[in-house]
């Protein structure tokens, strides 16, 4: 655990990234914590898609990049960023972050707007929408999120 520098989200993320051993030849990802329907399989698929961007394979064969991002379901925010091994992040979280990450050279991952990694929760309405989708069997929420919803 590291101390929060107290200067906002980007500063906190950068402080965390600074603690990662630079000698590790691995991609470095940032996943925001407000994505309650995201499961391990969804995260694995997101990372696998990012690796295609880095390698310039699959649908990304003509658009390889060293950084990638996932916009939120509305298309304006960002839920996930990843940089190839040895490539520093240029974080742009905040208002209109998807546009700003794209302008900073991050390649948008081609994921469905219904992908769990795109479904962040910024409002109570968004949380209640996830609950409805969970109740319909369209996605899975973790037990803590369900408990929080039950307490409403």
What is the residue-averaged pLDDT of the chain? 92
Q: What percent of the chain has pLDDT over 70?
A: 100
Using a pLDDT cut of 90, give the percent of the chain over it: 70
Name the pairing type of β-strands 78-83 and 28-31. antiparallel
Burial class (CB within 10 angstroms; exposed 0-12, middle 13-18, buried 19+) of 4: exposed
Residue 142 has pLDDT above 80, yes or no: yes
Spacing of C-alpha 136 from chain mean position: 24
Q: 108-136 pLDDT, tens per residue?
A: 998 988 899 999 999 999 999 999 999 99
Q: Write down the pLDDT at residue 39.
A: 92
Nearest to 114 by CA among 133, 135, 93: 133
pLDDT value, residue 119: 93
pLDDT at 71: 97
H/E stretch holding 82: strand 78-83
Q: Residue 16 has what pLDDT?
A: 92
SS3 142: coil
Report domain extents, the chain. Answer: 9-120, 121-152
10 — pLDDT class (breaks 50, 70, 90): very high
Spatial distance between the Cα atoms of 17 and 88, rounded to a whole number of angstroms: 9
Instruction: Please compute the mean of the pLDDT values over residues 56-72 and round it to a whole number.
Output: 90
What mean pLDDT do residues 15-22 have? 87
Name beta bridge partners: 81: 30, 69
Q: What CATH number labels 9-120? A: 3.90.550.10
């Amino acid at each position: 655990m590291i101390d929060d520098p107290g200067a906002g989200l980007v500063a906190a993320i950068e402080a965390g990234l600074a603690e990662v051993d630079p000698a590790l030849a691995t991609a470095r990802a940032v996943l925001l914590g407000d994505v309650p329907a995201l499961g391990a399989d969804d995260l694995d698929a997101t990372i696998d898609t990012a690796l295609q961007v880095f390698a310039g394979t699959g649908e990304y064969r003509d658009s390889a990049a060293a950084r990638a991002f996932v916009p939120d379901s509305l298309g304006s925010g960002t839920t996930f960023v990843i940089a190839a091994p040895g490539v520093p992040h240029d974080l742009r979280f905040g208002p209109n972050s998807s546009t700003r990450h794209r302008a900073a050279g991050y390649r948008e991952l081609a994921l469905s707007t219904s992908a769990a990694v795109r479904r962040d929760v910024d409002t109570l309405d968004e949380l209640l929408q996830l609950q409805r989708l969970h109740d319909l069997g369209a996605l899975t929420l973790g037990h803590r999120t369900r408990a929080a919803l039950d307490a409403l």
